[in-house]
Amino acid sequence: MDHNNSNKIWQESVKYLAGGVNSPVRAYGSVGGNPVVMKKGEGAFLIDEDNNKYLDFVNSWGPLILGHCNKELVDVLKNQVEKGTSFGTITKAENELARLICENIHHVEMIRFVNSGTEAVMSALRLARGYTSKSKIIKFEGCYHGHHDSMLVKAGSGLLTFSGDISLSSSPGVPESFAEDTIVLPLDEEEILEKTFESLGDKIAAVILEAVPANSGLLPQRLEFVKKIQILCEKYSALFIADEVITGFRLGFSGFCGKYNIKPDLVTYGKIIGGGLPVGAFGGKKEIMNHLSPVGKVYQAGTLSGNPLAMAAGYTSLKILKEQNVYEHLNNLATYLKSSFDKLIMPALNAKSFTIKLVQEESIFWLNIREKDSDELIRRVDKIWQDAAGIYKQIFWHMLENGIHIAPSAYEVGFLSHPMTKEDIDFFINNLKTAIDKID
Ligand SMILES: Cc1ncc(COP(=O)(O)O)c(C=O)c1O
């Protein structure tokens, strides 16, 4: 594959953009080499500046469940652009999207739109603190909730990609006084959680959990653990915040909480909710949401929040998801991916000194590279095998050079998209097999 144009653009990018990027993992730091520069998307594929075509499993890190340039979505956006992109007033579009969500998701009685998942979590935490008049937040090791100060502590995602060590995955620039109010606990440990509540319950405003932790690999949690969080929150008058920035509208329309009938006090959304445009949202019980300004005293605002272009993208995407059997197709593909993996990849791994477990939560998947002969599902970030990144790097480059775009990090998950077919999954699996065969 020729990457001349990509390389030229990258060399320009590093002159003007910090680290050449606007979001760290895009820099290929943990897989090495120059990032490929994309210019166009078409259904399940991305096309780079040298006209190479890639089957895309990154899907903009999750938002593009409908793939690239869905026709219906593009038409709606063109139409809206001609009417205006932002008015700074109330619009019908934001109302329609809010109604679609509130009428279909049992734990969202009211919602507010913001511009990213980071903003959604930041605002939900402020609301939780304002509502409970308490200050401490419990988060879990390896869960990523955006790049605002209080959540950049042992946070996974890009921080883990670059340090390779969860104990180092926090950011300079976050004052210790901020971090002091963030209590970081291990996932999957009810007892530690309970003890923390026993000693600090009167100070804990909220517990935030990535519904299915998907920023340090994919670490599905036991339902009992999630329920325990909810019980303890109720007992100690803290709020349970489910971060569904990744899982919202992906694990079915009502996300993880709808699927497992969990009723969090607040939920945060991002990614799919904006149909590829920058949108986030937080919502939940009316009684809590009414503490937000202008009705309540907890201040939260945004110049471009709820703008008609983003709302049109979100509304159209969610309507398609709700009405067009998207999840059925995605789940069929996910099942096919698993059976193909078992049939072709498992035997190929026999001769290797490592193994790979395919971890899946519907259309989200993770290639969990691990020591040979270990098969149990891991639920904690400290159980991730340290040698995985070196093996993943070889897989990544083989896949890219053969027309498959997977995340440039061993700790990031992959996403299936609606335009994908079984033939696309075959293409992925066959190339994965060749990549594995080539590794010593
Ligand atoms: C679970 C979760 N929460 C919050 C965020 C932050 O969202 P954004 O990148 O839109 O700010 C992310 C981003 O990946 C995420 O995965």
Interatomic CA distance for residues 188 and 420, integer angstroms: 34
Residue appearing with tokens 């304002």: 130
Specify the pLDDT at position 155.
62
What pTM value is reported for the model? 0.96
108, 17: one domain: no
- pLDDT single digits (tens) 176-185: 777 789 999 9
To the nearest whole percent, how much of the chain has pLDDT over 90? 91
Backbone angles phi, psi at 373, to 5 degrees: 65, 15
Residues of the domain holding 386: 4-69+325-438
Instruction: For 286-340, write each residue's pLDDT tens digit.
Output: 999 999 999 999 999 999 999 999 999 999 999 999 999 999 999 999 999 999 9
> What DSSP assignment string belongs to 367-399?
EEEEETT--SPP-SGGGS-TTHHHHHHHHHHHH
Res 31 pLDDT > 80? yes
**How would residue 170 be classed by pLDDT, with cut points 50, 70 and 90?**
low
User: Residue 171 has what pLDDT?
Assistant: 76
Q: Alpha-carbon distance 355 to 375, whole Å?
A: 9
In this structure, which residue's CA is closest to atom 5 in ligand 1? 146
**Which of 323, 350, 373 is the last residue before a domain boundary?**
323
- For the stretch 76-84, contacts whose Cβ atoms lie closer than 8 Å and that sit 24 or more positions apart, written own/partner, are 76/312, 76/313, 76/316, 77/309, 77/312, 77/313, 79/312, 80/308, 80/309, 80/312, 81/309, 83/308, 84/308
418: nearest Cα among 74, 56, 100: 56
Does 215 lie in the same domain as 118? yes
Q: How far is CA 145 from CA 160, 214, 292, in A?
A: 13, 11, 21
- On whether both 304 and 423 belong to a single domain, the answer is no
Task: Give residue 62 CA to ligand 1 midpoint distance, Å.
Answer: 10
Domain count, the chain: 2
- What's the chain's average pLDDT? 95
92 lies in the same domain as 238: yes
Q: End of a domain among 296, 323, 350? A: 323
Count of alpha carbons within 13 angstroms of residue 402, beta-carbon side = 16
**Ligand 1: does its nearest atom lie under 6 Å from the Cβ of 121?**
yes
DSSP 93-107: HHHHHHHHHHHH-TT
DSSP per-residue codes, 299-363: ----TTTT-HHHHHHHHHHHHHHHHS-HHHHHHHHHHHHHHHIIIIIHHHHTTSSEEEEEEEETT
- Ligand 1 mean position to 187 CA, how many Å? 18
Locate 131 and state its tokens.
Answer: 């509502």
Instruction: Quote the ligand 1 centre to 313 CA distance (angstroms).
Output: 18
Distance CA 220, CA 54 (A): 29
243, 265, 327, 411: which one is catalytic?
243
Q: Which atom of ligand 1 is nearest to the CA of 121?
A: 4
Instruction: Spell out where 52-178 has E strands.
Output: 53-56, 110-114, 136-140
Name which of 26-30, 76-80, 264-268, 290-294 the model is least confident about: 26-30
pLDDT at res. 354: 96
Say if residue 93's pLDDT is above 70.
Answer: yes
pLDDT at 164: 65
Cα–Cα distance, 57 to 415 (Å, whole number): 5
Is the same domain home to 134 and 244?
yes
What phi and psi values does residue 365 have, to the nearest 5 degrees? -140, 160
Whether residues 345 and 304 share a domain: the answer is no
Ligand 1 atom nearest the C-alpha of 211 is 1
CA of 146 from ligand 1 middle (Å) equals 5
Strands of 88-220 (E only): list them.
Answer: 110-114, 136-140, 182-185, 204-210
Cβ neighbours for 143, distance < 8 A, ≥ 6 positions apart? 155, 156, 187, 208, 209, 210, 213, 215, 216, 243
Tracing tokens 């489910």 back to the chain, one arrives at 242
Q: Is 211 a residue whose pLDDT tops 90? A: yes
Q: Under a CB-based contact definition with an 8 Å cutoff, are residues 416 and 363 in contact?
A: yes
Final residue of a domain: which of 302, 323, 344?
A: 323
Helix, strand, or coil (residue 55): strand
Same domain, 344 and 397: yes
Stretch 209-233: mean pLDDT: 97
pLDDT band at 150; cut points 50, 70, 90: confident
CATH (domain of 179): 3.40.640.10
Confidence at residue 157, expressed as pLDDT on a 0 to 100 scale: 65
DSSP state of 292: B
Q: Are residues 234 and 271 in the same domain?
A: yes
What was the pLDDT predicted at 249?
98
Ligand 1 in reach of 116 Cβ (< 6 A): yes
Residues 401 and 256 in one domain: no
Both 159 and 249 in one domain: the answer is: yes
Strands (E), 203-315: 204-210, 239-243, 266-269, 280-284
Predicted pLDDT at 149? 84
Looking up tokens 């030229």 gives: 8
Q: Looking at residue 307, what is its pLDDT?
A: 97
Same domain, 241 and 297: yes
Q: For the chain, how many residues are written?
A: 440
Contact criterion met (CB below 8 Å) for 128 and 317: no
Of the pLDDT bands very low, low, confident and very high (cuts 50, 70, 90), residue 152 is confident
pLDDT at 169: 55
Backbone torsion region of residue 248, taken as left when φ is above 0, otherwise alpha when ψ lies between -120 and 50, otherwise beta:
beta
More confident: 179 or 116 = 116
Residue 25's CATH number: 3.90.1150.10
As a whole number, mean pLDDT of residues 32-49 equals 98
Same domain, 131 and 233: yes
Check pocket membership of 124 for ligand 1, CB cut-off 6 A. Answer: no
pLDDT score of 92: 96
